[in-house]
Amino acid sequence: MSQSRFHHVFLAQRTPLLRTLERMVNNRSTAEDLLQETYLRVTRALGEGPVEHLEPFVFQTARNLARDHLRARRIQSRTLLEDVPLEVVHNVPVSQSSAEDAVHAGQLLERLNVSLQTLSARQQQIFILSRLHGHGYQAIAERLGVSLSTVQKELKLIMAICVGVAENLDRD
């Protein structure tokens, strides 16, 4: 099956494909990203050999990508909760506005800044995009051209550094 035939099938089925993906992931932007990934994956598969039933192959590829996305999102949500030990969560102090707290917060920010400066440029970008700009893991991965797993691992490392800085300050 030629690339031009696939292009024709893809354009003809774009709207139903997008609707299918939107129903699965409940997000139009993500569905459009998955649609683009579907195009790339099918193009790559056609480069490796012929596909006998192209239209069902395209839809199955799209559905598989949506399932992978949903699975990664489920894992990500569990990872975020499981990465922080319960004793750390329970030891977060109740907010009290005092001069002592202000000094403590200033010291913490200063030490965090020093520690975060030791990160690689990519790690700093991941931290800024995630914690300051509120981007999701998938968006960060796509923006930086890295895997979702890389973003998760880097953020886990960065958050461990932040927790370590806070614990060390509390011990001092």
**Residue 108: Cβ within 10 Å count:** 16
In a domain, 88, yes or no: no
pLDDT per residue over 50-63, tens digit each?
A: 888 889 999 999 99
Tell whether the model's pLDDT for residue 113 goes beyond 70. yes
Range of the domain at 65: 3-81
pLDDT per residue over 68-104, tens digit each?
A: 999 888 877 766 555 666 666 566 665 555 677 677 7
Residues whose CB is less than 8 angstroms from the CB of residue 111 and which lie 6 or more positions away in sequence, other chains included: 165, 168, 169
In a domain, 95, yes or no: no
- Cβ proximity of 21 and 35 under 8 Å: yes
Gap between the Cα atoms of 83 and 161, Å rounded: 13
Domain holding 105: CATH number?
Answer: 1.10.10.10
pLDDT more than 90, % of the chain: 29
* Residue 135 and residue 77 share a domain: no
Using the Cα atoms of residue 82, residue 84, residue 86 and residue 92 in order, give the sign of their dihedral.
negative
In a domain, 14, yes or no: yes
In a domain, 91, yes or no: no
* Residue 74 and residue 18 share a domain: yes
pTM (two decimals): 0.47
**Residue with token string 């099918």:** 42
pLDDT confidence of residue 106: 79
Q: Number of folded domains in the chain?
A: 2
What phi, psi does 146 have (nearest 5°)? -125, 170
